[in-house]
Structure 1
């Protein structure tokens, strides 16, 4: 069972249009969407989530289009984690995650034993079970990201779409989020992730697509798509490329001169001045010694 697209075009606003070729997203695979700001990555994710009318006949799950499945059935298969989302501050983590069961329960139906089990499992997967009764507005950035992923997992999706899941996170939270997503992929969930960090994409994703100027300009295994030439062509920057034989790594190349502190600069300037005469360098004698 796969998430698949036929060629289509979608727009968000009056000034932007995205052209999408046929793509497929496989179970157990992490697929990266890469590209400069404003290239169309978020538009593509929203299209795959079925949020844009133009995509609903072109995007399908196991051969059945989003238009035929309908919103609730689609949400039972495909879950979307937005980059920025807010939650009512009076909700606990558990109540927030439980919102993911709405495609199964509706808004007014009481939860069943199955619903409670699924929420328990999602909280445990994301390492939130011990703090599940904490208010959602008291979480750190990394914890809030895991809560959003847990809510998506409560939908029991087979494809999980994530828009910049490591954005605004510190290094430890990025590591934890990546480890969580790799674990989810091992359970045969298809992950489609938009990223800005090309180095992270090179070691984290299996396949990738580069999106630029409203088009998918390349797609395939990450190592063949993310190359120094492609980065120069579509980001306009040079990257230092290294490889250990199995994975490529990228570091931004720059020509900035090294910075020096103000104290160092003052010392350097002082060293360039002519030394004063020896008589002026001598210590001043006390006044009593001169009388």
Structure 2
């Protein structure tokens, strides 16, 4: 019996714009059912890499495979059944309700011959239950707080029922309580075997909630692997050019990054 293919395999990926290469020969592997966090300084190519995984930016060369299938060889609808993307600043139609937003996640599964079904209703209901957004079903999305809206967007992604989920800075502009809520929900997403790849700025949060950290600088993958084996003072120095102590979290042993004062005081 053959082993199950990884949730994501990226090999030799080069991505960029005319006369401006951005990602240089990236190799990334994420096991199915795991969370990977892409980290690194601003402008290092994190979001460009994620856009290429999501088929929004065609690479100059290299391959992206989701569950063993080359995503760039798929048609648009089939790709949308395999890969879900939540961008950093998603836009919703004016006046859309929460349930209406979550229903958008079912569009890739519909066609002229397959209209709204009980299967779609089930997927929407389970996604809203998993994200604790049922109570907001009839509310306009715009009336909710930032943390509540982010849970609703995640519900839409869950309703899409793809094996690979891509999240671009899902905790951006959220307060600490909502950051924890969102990242714990991200962990829950993998319970059914889904693979999650997310871009994060907070290295300590990445080390706590991800199974694999992918560290990038200047468009190149410098390191990847389990946080406890990857995140250390040397990596922080190389990525961000700051001195830091990396200590084990008292509750779970996850690496915690504590920057040192530049003044030494």
- Alignment TM-score, normalising by the size of structure 2: 0.90
Is 1:120 the counterpart of 2:125? The answer is yes
Match of 2:107 in 1: 102
Is 1:194 the counterpart of 2:199? The answer is yes
Q: 1:171 aligns with which of 167, 176, 181?
A: 176
Q: Deviations over 1:101-136 (max 9, x none)?
A: 111114996411111111111111111011111001
**SS across alignment from 2:59:** helix
**SS across alignment from 2:104:** helix
The 5-angstrom pairing of residues 199-278 of structure 1 reads 199-243=204-248, 244=250, 246-255=253-262
**Offset at residue 96 of structure 1 (A):** 0.7
Match of 1:268 in 2: none
Is 1:146 the counterpart of 2:151? The answer is yes
Rg larger for: 1
Residues in 2 aligned to 1:119 and 1:107: alpha-carbon distance in whole angstroms: 20
Residues 13 and 62, structure 2, Cα contact 8 Å, conserved in 1: no
Structure with more strand by fraction: 2
Residues in 1 aligned to 2:229 and 2:71: alpha-carbon distance in whole angstroms: 31
Residues in 2 aligned to 1:164 and 1:131: alpha-carbon distance in whole angstroms: 23
Say if 1:99 and 1:87 are closer, same or farther in 2 by CA, change over 3 A.
same
Q: Which structure 1 residue ranges, 4+ long, deviate > 6 Å from structure 2?
A: none
Match of 1:162 in 2: 167
Q: 1:11 aligns with which of 8, 11, 16?
A: 16
Q: 2:49 aligns with which of 40, 44, 47?
A: 44
**SS across alignment from 2:9:** strand
Q: Deviations over 1:252-287 (max 9, x none)?
A: 2215699xxxxxxxxxxxxxxxxxxxxxxxxxxxxx
Residues in 2 aligned to 1:233 and 1:202: alpha-carbon distance in whole angstroms: 17
Residues 30 and 205, structure 1, Cα contact 8 Å, conserved in 2: yes
- Alignment TM-score, normalising by the size of structure 1: 0.82
Match of 1:273 in 2: none
Between 247-256 and 65-74, report the one with greater CA deviation: 247-256
Say if 1:193 and 1:13 are closer, same or farther in 2 by CA, change over 3 A.
farther
Instruction: Flag structure 2 segments of 5+ consecutive residues without an equivalent.
Output: none
**Offset at residue 66 of structure 1 (A):** 1.5
Is 1:87 the counterpart of 2:92? The answer is yes
Residues in 2 aligned to 1:56 and 1:104: alpha-carbon distance in whole angstroms: 30
Say if 1:13 and 1:252 are closer, same or farther in 2 by CA, change over 3 A.
farther
